Amino acid sequence: RVKLNGKNDFMLFDPSMNEDIQRKASLEQDLKLAMKNKELELYYQPKFDLELNRYDGMEALVRWNHPVRGFIPPFEFIKIAEESNLIIELGTWILEKSCRFIMEYNRTHHSEYCVSVNVSTIQLLNENFEKTVLSILESTGLNPAYLELEITETVFMNSMDTAYEKLKFFKEKNINIALDDFGTGYSSLTYLKSLPITTVKLDKSFVDDITFNAISFGIVDNVIQIARSIGLIIVVEGVETNEQLQILKSLRCHKIQGYYFSKPVPEAELPLVLSQYH
């Protein structure tokens, strides 16, 4: 925050030092308005099931089109939202909108797609989170089996017990839980089997060089086989080429997500994208 000198109303700040802080403060303000002004939109990226040879769901990804600054990538404003606790309101909005959307989409298209929604660690650990999820499922009428919550390993770093209890609660309600960005943190294959999750999403960084890096290939191979052996669904993110797709297929990966099939698209474009493999 910019400090004002009471006497002269004189601004005391070093421009170079405060640029970041100012941008953050002003984005925080703007983000509050953005939620009201409908500058936020959800895009959806389809997820392809390699065994069924068709799409089986999609991930909701938030987009912010700022009236002045233009497109702001989610990693930037999600972080700001987390630091200011706006993430609770934003996350609830995203969850509600995704559930309502998939419910309506499935109804009008006679489909059975599942929607995956990213859940920030702060959001998951919030004491009201379970209540929020259940009330959204109730008000939208969505079958919990068509909802997947994507969480990251950071939820286990400080609050293992709380996170574990919460995930167990959701799993018992038949809600799917995916561990996102697997392989980027302190991921351990041994703890996978003890977590109340249904899916592992292997991070894009492993698939990037899978066609020419034997180490990446080996890691992906192992993660897929271990995930399978403990009964988890394995999704690989960031698949961009047919070559990568063929390798993942040969390694018996369950599902893939990536630009090879489709970038995240706005609601209106989904029917056309999904109709290619249904």
Contacts to ligand C2E by CB under 6 A: 45, 60-62, 73-75, 78, 91, 94, 118, 120, 150, 180-181, 237-240, 257-259, 264
Instruction: Report residue 73 as tokens.
Output: 């990538």
Whole-angstrom distance, CA of residue 107 vs CA of residue 124? 29
User: Which is closer to ligand C2E, CB of 27 or CB of 94?
Assistant: 94
153 sits near Mg ion (criterion: CB under 5 A):
no
H-helix or E-strand containing 32? Answer: helix 15-37
The secondary structure of residue 210, as a DSSP letter, is T
User: Which is closer to Mg ion, CB of 56 or CB of 180?
Assistant: 180
10 Å Cβ neighbour count for 82? 17
Give me the least distance between CB of 174 and ligand C2E, in Å please. 22
Instruction: Report residue 236 as tokens.
Output: 């690989």
Task: Name the residue type at position 194.
Answer: S
56 sits near Mg ion (criterion: CB under 5 A):
no
User: Which is closer to Mg ion, CB of 27 or CB of 115?
Assistant: 115
Task: Map the footprint of Mg ion across residues 173-192, applying CB under 5 A.
Answer: 180-181
Helices then strands (H, E): number in the chain?
A: 12, 12
* Residue 34 binds which entry of Mg ion, ligand C2E, none, CB below 5-8 Å type-dependent: none
Name 25's Cβ contacts closer than 8 Å, sequence gap at least 6: 1, 2
Bin 249: left if φ > 0, else alpha if -120 < ψ < 50, else beta: alpha
Mask of contacts with Mg ion, 93-132, x by CB under 5 A?
-------------------------x--------------
The beta-strand segments (E) located in 123-254 are 147-151, 176-182, 199-202, 233-237
Give me the least distance between CB of 177 and ligand C2E, in Å please. 14
User: Which is closer to ligand C2E, CB of 13 or CB of 130?
Assistant: 130
Give me the least distance between CB of 65 and ligand C2E, in Å please. 13
* Residue 259 binds which entry of ligand C2E, Mg ion, none, CB below 5-8 Å type-dependent: ligand C2E
30 sits near Mg ion (criterion: CB under 5 A):
no
Shortest CA distance to 254 belongs to which of 200, 213, 210? 200
Q: Would you tell me which residues interact with Mg ion (CB under 5 A)?
A: 118, 150, 180-181, 237
